[in-house]
Amino acid sequence: MAAHFQDYLLHLADNAVILGQRNAQWCGHGPVLEEDLALANNSLDLIGQARLLYQHVATMRKDGKTSEDLLAYFRDVPEFKNYTLLELPHSTALAPTGSGDRDYAVTIGRNFLYSALMVLVWEALKGSSDAQLAAIAAKSLKETQYHLRHARDWMLRLGDGTAESHAKMQAAINHLMPYTQEFFAPSPMETAVVKSGLGVDTRQLQATWNQLVDEALVEATLQRPAAGGYVTTGKTGVHSEHLGFVLAEMQSLARAHPEAVW
């Protein structure tokens, strides 16, 4: 059980750190200054949440060597347990070639779909039988509510905006929606922590999530695509080809200069 619970904490932490890293790629490249700042602040919150969760795992392991830095910077792709959705590039292209392909509609769509899930997950985790996870959830909920509000607001502007912004927002939702199936697919670690009262059963949140998503899509004049096809498996460590590049960018400094301080 302890191993499953640590995996679950890493799953929550990896979600936050990988999306935080992705969103931080807009820092200095935002479509407008306000959005540049918004995404940087969003990343700060996510990385802060990840730190609290990694610290919790490190404390539980009590092996004298696990630290938040070790968990973030010295694990490789198969050890990361984030949803595949969160590691995807900011693009609807299947093989984006660089920053020129970056599409803000994908950024907004992903932040919306994930934040809509996480407000429900954090709310439920306030009742976790693990006091520290419950405390982290209570803090994270307050921040995630702002992330959801931000992403939803922009999804409405883009969806109900010009013909071009509408088409891009719809394409982004079409591209992202199949990956959300992973939110609600069972995994051994989740089954174990739900049983013990430490974690939350996302399937019980699915109806509310659907409602949050559908209401926003209707208001944004967007169609909800059918989310069929392959169900991704990032949370069990089997990732897309994109995560390795994210980790290379995120971990290279720490690996080149282990234990470095400034």
Residues of this chain that interact with another protein (CB under 8 A) are 34-35, 37-38, 41-49, 51-52, 55-56, 58-59, 62, 119-120, 123, 131-132, 134-136, 138-143, 145-146, 148-150, 152-153, 156, 215-216, 219
**Minimum separation from the CB atom of position 229 to another protein (A):** 30
- Residue placing its CB nearer to another protein in the complex, 3 or 131: 131
- Residue placing its CB nearer to another protein in the complex, 133 or 173: 133
**Minimum separation from the CB atom of position 97 to another protein (A):** 30
Q: What is the DSSP string of 186-227?
A: --HHHHHHHHTTSS--GGGTHHHHHHHHHHHHHHTT-PPPP-
- For residue 205 the two structure tokens come to 């949140």
- Residue placing its CB nearer to another protein in the complex, 59 or 196: 59
**Minimum separation from the CB atom of position 149 to another protein (A):** 6
DSSP-derived letter for residue 233 is B
Q: What is the DSSP string of 46-83?
A: HHHHHHHHHHHHHHHH-SSS--HHHHHHS--GGG----
- For residue 81 the two structure tokens come to 């347990």
Strand partners, 233: 238
- Residue placing its CB nearer to another protein in the complex, 148 or 222: 148
**Minimum separation from the CB atom of position 228 to another protein (A):** 28
